[in-house]
Structure 1
Amino acid sequence: MAPGNGSFVTEFILVGLTDQPDLQLPLFFLFLVMYMVTMLGNFGLLTLIVLNSYLHTTMYFFLFNLSFIDLCYSSVFTPKMLVDFLSKKNTISYMGCMTQLYFFWVFFFFFFFFFVVSECYVLTSMAYDRYVAICNPLLYNIAMSPKMCSSLMLGSYLMAFSGAMAHTGCMLRLTFCDANTIDHYLCDILPVLQLSCTSTYVNELVVFIVVGINIIVPSLMIFVSYGLILSNILQICSTEGRSKAFSTCSSHITAVSLFFGSGAIMYLKPSSAGSMHVGKISSVFYTNVVPMMNPLTYSLRNKDV
């Protein structure tokens, strides 16, 4: 996109989830309820795990990190999204957009992308934890030692930090001239790239590589883990034992499918204007639905909780 009159963008206009006025108020209440459930569910699970020494185990260590991540990154954009449902003109400054995209201004200025990628690897670690618990129960305490769990989480955060820094550096090199309307309800990477009046080839390449690695690699590891788990479950003679093993993994499979599936639809495709509507709908799942579902599925189906 070539610059028109040499002016530069100082604010962006967010189209939102829909441009139909009749749907704004119902969507406001829908997402308000979802956000409240997300906050209460994740904060409640965090509090329960901290206060109850019985839950100080490996599985709940990963659940604690998952709830913390969901609590954080769902708050990057949801408050702004709720305000926009009630506003006539949904604008956000250039620096505000960059802040919303990369820095989490509520909880210690972490990165939005940092939390999303962290969740990818936390879910992967949980799949590995279930694999060891079901397929090698006698070696569980050794394979999932506190040192091993800490290393898995440290690796998750390091991968997330490096990916977020790569996106930050690439995004800040862009120039935005005349176009300032973002066809989205948040300042996500691909919709913002469409507005740049400079080449976005490097940015799209970084998105494809970084996001591809952070979706494909964890997905393959999870599929391998659950393939081995299913193979082991089918060898269980007891119907009750087989049912218990399936129940243990079903909630994790549901969360993983929604999270990685919607993320792949959003990011692993060309950033064309025609595909933004599908991407906008799919992003609702990994930004709103999954953080709300995680504490519900893991707590309601868990007898310990």
Structure 2
Amino acid sequence: MGNMGADLFEMSWVQSIILFFVYLAWALYVTGLVVSAFECGIEYQSGRGSIKDAAMNAIKGFMAVGLFSVVPVELYKLSISLQSSLTDGISGFDTDIGTVASNIISDLSAAGSLENASSTNVFGFGAVTSPIMILFVLILMGYAVIKVFFANLKRGGILLIQIAVGSLYMFSVPRGYLDGFVSWCKQIVGLCLTAFLQSTILIAGLMVVKEHALLGLGLMLSAGEIPRIAEAFGLDTSTKTNLMSAAYTAQTAVNMTRTVVKAVGAK
């Protein structure tokens, strides 16, 4: 499921969008570099300026603008690759989520009816023979799988949005304001960590549900809570906060550019 998000970045039109924001990031970086030089000169006259700090910020900005469109995609692909290898090791060689789920569906189909499924111990309930319980387990399984499926489906688009938003921080990085960019980096890490853990926990739940139904359902349902847990530890995977911060950064860039242009024109 995670490969759907990674395959998005192989499309030519997506690469064109990323290239546009790369050009925008370079333009903002050059503008921020000019503003940083003016600020360093002004502060240097009062004895507070530091050419060394300004040069270090310029180097940090150069590395950020050169890597912000490449590292997130490669890190996401790496997390998907590691997740696939790990789940293959857990469930058996060349066995993915679809294979495990289809084996469960085959066992249920062989039973013929809900009554027979409950009596054949498909989900490991043992003495429980209620068809309503079997139906309840199937509904919860479907809910957990569909929730993780749609989360993986939209994760590639979220990563594309985060790359677009990350370009707006390139104005503030060469000036030494790194808080917004560090928050953006945490979001990228949180997205990749969520992509790795969600599918891993889901397939672990599918493996357990045949022997211990309630324990397996607990694992499958917990896969949908991973983004909320990551957010509690500072790895927010949403784009709401970053969009507000980036919009403020872009507005500051426009205002500072106008100020510099007016100052140069007055001279």
Please report the TM-score for the alignment, with normalisation by the length of structure 2: 0.33
> Which protein shows a greater Rg?
2
Please report the TM-score for the alignment, with normalisation by the length of structure 1: 0.30
